Amino acid sequence: MLAARRGQVAKVVRELEVGDIFGLTQIRLRLTEHRKVRFVPSVGRLDRVEVVRGMAGGEDISHPEGPMEGELYDLRHYAPGDPIRFVLWKVFARTRQLVVRSPERALSPIRQTCAYLVAGPADEPAAGAARLAIERGALGSEWVLGADGSHDDATRKDQAVDLLARSATVSGTERGGRGLGEFLRRRSQGGMGRAVVFVPGRPGPWLDAVVNQCAGHDGACGRGGLRGQIEFVVGTDGIERARPRNWLARLALRERKPQLRRQAQTKAPAEDERVETQDRVTTEELAKVVAALSKVGRVVVVDRQAGRVFAGGQLTAMAEDRRRAA
């Protein structure tokens, strides 16, 4: 059984059609089975979701005879005078930015992580990214997950999957993102940590609610209050360029739609084309979401259909593309 969206249902309705090969007669039977079924969000082609880990004071002490610094682990932008052998040429080929390796400081990663899923239009890719982050351990060893539509928090993988499935009931309402502020206040009791918020790639009523609630917090959560920046993971199922403003181009696109729709009806979807096209976003929509969230935290975009992660200069290029289209 293949589901287009995540969720939980109490019954399954099956339709059976029986007819002759000439199409003269046809009988349709509907069978209803009362049973609980859970549909979990698909991870698509994503194989990893990297989130920034906060840092705290380390417990290790450097060797007395060695330098008070660690291995060449940290990364930073190139500065005049840096040795050329420390430049990461693979990163330069991909982003056109010079990045060098630098010694790590005497710091250790924070273990406590607070994650939250915001429900809204086209939120299925964000739910899939949240599931992947939990299953692959990207949130660290100690984490807690919250989601719209539930006042309970999950600390185990099985609880988290149930929480993600139940959040589908909020997707079509105006309550998306309303519970984020309460979640941050509830989880900020105790030690220091970080916060990762999974959001849809299409703007909606949830966007203003999230920005307003995060503006009053300093950042990540844990035992000791909120500190640092909140990290936002924006989920998409493909990114389309914004349509041109020229009236002639818009007319051509409108005339082409019925033909594409007829082709879609006659061609059955392939096995690897299960991702819903309704979750695709344009560069204009994505740039609006990124611009709003960048004011209160760090933003990373994941494309579930292509299995890619966008950050830094790539998001800046999307914003410039939006300005040119306008």
The pLDDT value recorded for residue 83 is: 80
| Cα 77 to Cα 185: distance, rounded to the nearest angstrom | 35
Q: What is the pLDDT of residue 34?
A: 92
Question: pLDDT tens, 147-172?
Answer: 998 888 999 999 999 999 999 988 77
How many angstroms separate the CA atoms of 134 and 144, rounded?
10
**Cα–Cα distances in angstroms (integers) from residue 22 to residues 19, 25, 27, 167, 300, in the given order:** 8, 8, 14, 46, 55
Residue 56 has pLDDT above 90, yes or no: no
What pLDDT, in 10s, does the model give residues 264-281? 444 444 434 444 456 688
Q: Which residues of 197-222 are buried (b: 16+ CB within 10 A; e: fewer)?
A: bbbbbbbbebbebbeebbeebebbbb
Q: CA nearest 129: which of 7, 47, 231?
A: 47
CATH of 108-239+278-325, one of 2.60.40, 1.10.3470, 3.40.50, 3.30.160: 3.40.50
Residues of the chain with CATH 3.40.50: 108-239+278-325
- ∠ at Cα 264 (260, 269), nearest 5°? 145
Question: Which pTM does this prediction carry?
Answer: 0.69
Average pLDDT, the chain: 76
The encoded tokens of residue 240 equal 């389309």
Q: What is the per-residue pLDDT across 284-318, written as a single tens digit (0 to 9) for each? A: 889 899 999 998 988 999 999 888 888 766 777 66
Nearest Cα residue to 144 out of 132, 156, 135, 136? 156
